[in-house]
Structure 1
Amino acid sequence: MKIQCVSLLICALLIGECCGSRVDRWVRTGLQYLKLNLCRRVSLPESECKKMSHLHLSGVVVYVSESGSGKVLAILPDSYSSGALQSKHSGFSVDPSADEESRTNEELYPGASAHDAVLLLDPSPGESFGHPVVLFYVDFNVTKKKCAHMDGIYLGEECLTMAVKTRCQNQLKRRRSRSDRMASRLRARRSPVGRTARMEHSSGLCEIHFLPLVVGVKDTNRTQRLRCVDHPDFARCPQPLPLTSPSVPISSCELNKNTRRCHQQRLATHLSCRLYQTCDHAVLLSGGWQEQITYQRHAHNLQLFYQMLRNNGFHKDHVKTFFAGNGQVAVKETEGMYPATEKEVIRNHISYICRKQHCVDSLVLYLNSPTRNDGTMLLWDRNNNGIADLKERYSVGELLADLAGCKASRVLLFVEQSYSGALSKRLMGSLKHVNVVLLNGLPWVQTAEFWASLHPAQCLIDHLSKSPVPSRLGDAALGLLNVTLAGAPCNSTPALTEAEMRKEYMGCQNLPTALWYQKRPKSDISRN
C-alpha cells in the first residue's frame, strides 16, 4: 500500500521511517555526490571546494519540499533576466506588470520544469545569503535508463538530479538533448584547443546562492513548500523572525486602492537637512528578501549598530532603518523604521542628503542584505513571486550612483553581507567616490558586534586595528578614518572634553551664516 505523505511533519509523526528514511537517503546520497562532483560542475573557488570535501552531515542544513500534493516548480530570485520573465527554451516572454493572480504558475514561470520534490543542502548555515547551496530535483517512477539520460542518481524508486545555472544566465540548468551533446563533443575534438574549450564550458556554470520558492504547479497562492528538516543528524534549522501585524497608529491609516490598509508614515526626506546646520546621518539597510531567510540575528545586528550610532551622538531622527517587509517584528530599540520594500524611498533619501550642501558631516551606511554574486542586494519579495525584479533589488551601480559626488565630509560603508568585493572593485580608483570608505575587512558575521564597542572619543583607524583580520586600505581611506565616527580629530592635545565633543562634533552643529553662503551655488542664492 502506497501511503501519500501530506507533509514531512505528518510523515514523521504518523509513519515514522517512511518519509524519514527516504529523506535521509536523499540527503546522504546528495551530500556524497556534491563532495565528489560539485567542483567539476560549478566554478567554485579552490577554498570552497576544499571546504565542501570535508563536509559532515551535522554541518549541513537540509530543506525538502512538502510531498504528496502534486508536481512542484523551483524558482530562484535570479531565475529570470530583468524586465520580462523570459525563457530561453520557450521562445516567448511574459510581462511582469500583468496581473499575476490571473495566471497559472506555468504561465508565470515559462520554461521552469516540474518535479515531484526538491531537496536543498545548505553547507554554510551561519553565513549570509547568498552563498553557495546545492539544489537537487527528485523525480519518482523514473526508469534507470531515463535517470542516467538526465545525469541523475538512480535510487531504485527515485531519481536525484542536481540543478545548476548555465553560463550565469539566471536559468536553472535543463538537460541538453543528445544531439546537442554529440555536437558539442565533436566541436571539442575538432578544435586544436579542445581541452581548453571544455574547461571554459565547465567554468561557465554558476552555483546557486539562495533558497528557491518551491510552489505547486497548480497552486495559484504560490505557497512556499520548501521546509527545513529538523533531524538529529543534520545541522539545526535557523529560526526565522515571527510575523506580526504592523502596529501603526490609526492616524497613519489611509485608503489605498479601495482597500483599507494601515501604512507607516511616509519618510519625509526633505526635513532631514535644516538651514544653517550640518549633522551626522545614517542609513541601515537589512533586506531579508523573504521570511524564511530573515533571522533573529538580523534584528540583533540592527539593534547593536543602531545603539552604537546613538552612543556616538547620532540623533534618532537622522538614523533611518529599512528592514524586511511590513510584517516582520520591529526592532524596538530603533526609531524611524521602514520596510525594505520601498526601493525608491531608500535611493531618494540617500541621494537627497548626499546632494544637499552642508547637510551631512559623517554619512554611515550599514548594509546587511542577501546578496547576489555581483554584489546586488535583494530587498524584499513584495509580490511573492520568488523573482527579484528591478524594484526588489539594489545593484552596486545604483548604490554608487546615489553616492557619486556626495557632499558629506566622509561616507563610511559598513558591509555585513556576501560579495562585498564587487563593491570594493568599483570604488577603487573612482573619482566620484573619493570620500567613500568601504569597511569590509572583517568576517561578515562579526561586523555589527565588532563596531558595537566603538566609543565617541575613539579613532576609527585605532578601532579597526583591533580586528583579527588585517584591513587593506589606501592612503586616502586611512586619512578619512583618522577621525572619530563623528569627525572629531584623534589624539588632540589637550584632549577634547566630553562637553567639547558633543558641542563641536557629535550629532548636529550650527554653521556660521558666512560659511553657509560661501560654498552655495550662485543659482541657489539668487533663488532666495
Structure 2
Amino acid sequence: MKFQCVSLFICALLVGESCGSQMKLSRLDRWVRTGFQYLKLNLCRRVSLPESECKKFSHLHLSGVAVYVSESNSAGKVLAILPDSYFTGTVPSKSADSSVDDESRTNEELYPGASAHDAVLVLDPSPGESFGHPVVLFYVNFNITKKKCAHMDGIYLGEECLTMAVKTRCQNQLKRRRSRSDRMVSRARARRSTMGRIGRMEHSSGHCEIHFLPLVVGVRDSNRTQCLRCVGHPDFARCPEPLPQSSPNIPISSCELNKNTRRCHQQRLATHLSCRLYQTCDHAVLLSGGWQEQITYQRHVQNLQLFYQMLRNNGFHKDHIKTFFAGNGQVAAKETDGMYPATEKEVIRNHISYICRKQHCADTLVLYLSSPTRNDGTMLLWDRNNNGIADLKERYSVGELLSDLAGCRARRVLLFVEQSYSGVLSKRLMGSLKHLNVVLLNGLPWVDTAEFWASLHPSQCLIDHLSKSSATPRLVDSAQGLLNVTLAGAPCNSTPPLTEAEVRKEYMGCQNLPTALWYQKRPKSDNSRN
C-alpha cells in the first residue's frame, strides 16, 4: 500500500485498516514523544554505540526521526521478528510443502522464543541511510500494572507500558550492570570454576542494538502480513519513498512446477557464456539485496541505474554487467533488462567465482555492493520465504565474499561499497595475502557512492577522481598502483598521451588476446590435456 498521510489521525486509520484495528491520535502521539525522549537520554546507556552516534542522538530533533507503528488486530497480539533474531530452536520456513501444517499453527509456535505484545513502535533516527543502522524498537503492552512495568524496565504511561527491545544473547545485554546479589553469586561460581558459565557469557560477541525494521505479524496471521507502517506527519521525518511493485510478489518457494506462471518464471543466468576463448573483458556485478519491500526504496533503483550507466560510459559491455536486485516484481519489466533477483545466493556466488577462476576472463572486475548489512558486515539478500529471519541462503557473509574473490585472476578487483559496516570487510582485506589485487573503495560517504562515481570519465584516473572527495581513504602502495589507471585499465600518465580512439580500442570493453599469450599463462594441467 502506497500512501502519503496528511494527518496523524488519517495515518492511524490506515495502519488500523491494514491490521484490523484503529489507533487514537492522542495515544500514538504519547508513545512517540515518550519514546523519543527515552532515545535521546537513555539509548547509549542501554546499548554500546560509538561516541559519534551518541552525540548525534543527543542533538536529535523529532523532525529528523521516522516513525513506524503497528497495533494488534482484533484476533490477538503481534510478534516482532528481526532478520538477525536469536531464537532458541529451529525456525521452520513457510514452503509449499509445509503450508498446510503452518496454517494450523500460530506464529508463536513458528517463532519459538518470540514474545507477543499489544503493539510495536519503531523510531528511526537515520531515515536517510540504508539499513542496517541503529533503530529504536519499543514493545507496547496494555493493562499492565506500574509495578510489573517497572519489573520489565519499561516506561509506565498510565494506560500502557513501553519497553525498549534489545537483541538477546549479545555482549551488551550480558555485561549489563548486575545487582549486589547477582555479583555475590558470580563470585561464588568463579571460585568454584574459573571457566564457569558467567565467564563464558561475559566474552560473548555481538551487540544488542537493533539495525532493521522488524516483520510485525499477528499471532494468528498465517499469511504473515506486515503490520508495521511508516507514519507521515509534519512533526516527524518524511517517510521514505517505497518502490512500487509492478506485479504481485509471491514467495519463490511457492513457484512449484504444478503452479508455474509467468510471474514465477526466472531468466536463467548463463554464466558459462561470460568468458570467451582468446578474449579478456571488463566485468561487473551489481548487488542490491533490499531484504523486503518496506526497506527497498526508489533511490536504490536510481543508484543502480547511475552506476550501470557509468560502467557503460566506461566501455563495459551490457552482457558483462550482471545486476542482482530485490525479489520478484519490484521493478517494471522495461527496467529489468539484464537484471536478476537477489534471491539466488548460489547463482550470485557461482558467477563471481567463475569470473575470478577463469584464466584471462576479466581484466577489471567491478563489484558494486548496496545491500542492508548486519554489524558484522553480512549482506542481507532477500527474504524469499517471507519468515522475517535471514537464514543461510538469504545472507552473504564477508567470509563468503572473500572466499569467492580469493586468488582472483582478474588484473584488478574494485569493490564499490554503498552500505553500512564496510570496515569489517576492509580489516579482513588488509591482512589477507589472497586478495592482493582487490581494492575496497569505502572511504567515501557510503550514501553517495553511486552519485560520486557517476561522473567518472573514461580517460580519468581512478586515484585522481578519488582525490576529489573530502573523505579520501588512506591507500597502501599496492592499492595506489591498482588505482593509478582508468576504470578500463588504461595508463593515466603515458607519454605521449593515449588518444580516445586508442583507449577505446586497446583497453575498453573486450580485447582479443594473442594465441601465444593465452597458452603461455595457462596452467600446465590445461596444456597437457588432449
Q: Determine if the TM-score, normalized by the shorter chain, exceeds 0.5.
A: yes
Residue in structure 2 matched with residue 505 of structure 1 by the alignment: 507
What is the CA–CA distance in structure 2 between the aligned matches of 1:187 and 1:443, rounded to whole Å? 48
Amino acid at match of 1:462: D
- Figure out how many residues of one structure are paired with residues of the other and give that number: 495
Shift of 1:186: 3.0
5+ residue gaps, structure 1? 81-85, 248-254
What is the CA–CA distance in structure 1 between the aligned matches of 2:122 and 2:367, rounded to whole Å? 33
Residue in structure 2 matched with residue 78 of structure 1 by the alignment: 84
Shift of 1:449: 0.5
Check if 1:290 corresponds to 2:292.
yes
Residue in structure 2 matched with residue 9 of structure 1 by the alignment: 13
Residue in structure 1 matched with residue 228 of structure 2 by the alignment: 226
Query: Any idea what the Cα deviations from partners look like across 1:94-147, whole Å, max 9, x if unmatched?
Result: 555875532231221001000000000000001110000000000001111111
Residue in structure 2 matched with residue 186 of structure 1 by the alignment: 184
Mark the CA change 1:169 to 1:527 in structure 2 (over 3 Å): closer, same or farther.
farther
Of residues 455, 459, 462 in structure 2, which corresponds to 1:460?
Answer: 462
Query: Any idea what the Cα deviations from partners look like across 1:361-380, whole Å, max 9, x if unmatched?
Result: 00000000000000000000
- 3-state SS of the aligned residue for 1:52? helix
Amino acid at match of 1:31: F
Amino acid at match of 2:371: S
Residue in structure 2 matched with residue 301 of structure 1 by the alignment: 303
Mark the CA change 1:135 to 1:453 in structure 2 (over 3 Å): closer, same or farther.
same
Amino acid at match of 1:32: Q
Residue in structure 2 matched with residue 344 of structure 1 by the alignment: 346
Mark the CA change 1:6 to 1:277 in structure 2 (over 3 Å): closer, same or farther.
same
Residue in structure 1 matched with residue 4 of structure 2 by the alignment: none
What is the CA–CA distance in structure 1 between the aligned matches of 2:516 and 2:437, rounded to whole Å? 24
- 3-state SS of the aligned residue for 1:369? coil
What is the CA–CA distance in structure 2 between the aligned matches of 1:229 and 1:107, rounded to whole Å? 30
Mark the CA change 1:486 to 1:11 in structure 2 (over 3 Å): closer, same or farther.
closer
Mark the CA change 1:276 to 1:408 in structure 2 (over 3 Å): closer, same or farther.
same
Shift of 1:468: 1.2
Residue in structure 1 matched with residue 142 of structure 2 by the alignment: 140
Mark the CA change 1:330 to 1:61 in structure 2 (over 3 Å): closer, same or farther.
same
Query: Any idea what the Cα deviations from partners look like across 1:399-422, whole Å, max 9, x if unmatched?
Result: 000000000000000000000000
Counting only pairs closer than 5 Å after superposition, residues 35-50 of structure 1 correspond to structure 2 as 35-50=40-55
- 3-state SS of the aligned residue for 1:244? coil
TM-score when normalising by structure 2: 0.88
What is the CA–CA distance in structure 2 between the aligned matches of 1:434 and 1:127, rounded to whole Å? 31
Amino acid at match of 2:407: G
Amino acid at match of 1:9: L
What is the CA–CA distance in structure 1 between the aligned matches of 2:123 and 2:140, rounded to whole Å? 13
5+ residue gaps, structure 2? 1-8, 192-198, 250-254
What is the CA–CA distance in structure 2 between the aligned matches of 1:281 and 1:272, rounded to whole Å? 9
TM-score when normalising by structure 1: 0.88
Shift of 1:330: 4.3
Mark the CA change 1:265 to 1:136 in structure 2 (over 3 Å): closer, same or farther.
same
- 3-state SS of the aligned residue for 2:440? strand
Mark the CA change 1:128 to 1:100 in structure 2 (over 3 Å): closer, same or farther.
farther
Indicate if the aligned counterparts of 1:131 and 1:209 stay in contact, CA closer than 8 A: yes
Query: Runs (4+) of structure 1 moved beyond 6 Å?
Result: 188-192, 200-204
Larger mean Cα displacement after TM superposition, 358-367 or 226-235:
226-235
Percent pairwise identity: 82
Amino acid at match of 1:41: R
Residue in structure 2 matched with residue 56 of structure 1 by the alignment: 61
- 3-state SS of the aligned residue for 2:24? helix
Indicate if the aligned counterparts of 1:12 and 1:20 stay in contact, CA closer than 8 A: no
Residue in structure 2 matched with residue 379 of structure 1 by the alignment: 381
Counting only pairs closer than 5 Å after superposition, residues 230-245 of structure 1 correspond to structure 2 as 230-245=232-247
Mark the CA change 1:201 to 1:521 in structure 2 (over 3 Å): closer, same or farther.
closer
Counting only pairs closer than 5 Å after superposition, residues 361-400 of structure 1 correspond to structure 2 as 361-400=363-402
RMSD of aligned Cα (Å)? 2.8
Amino acid at match of 1:213: L
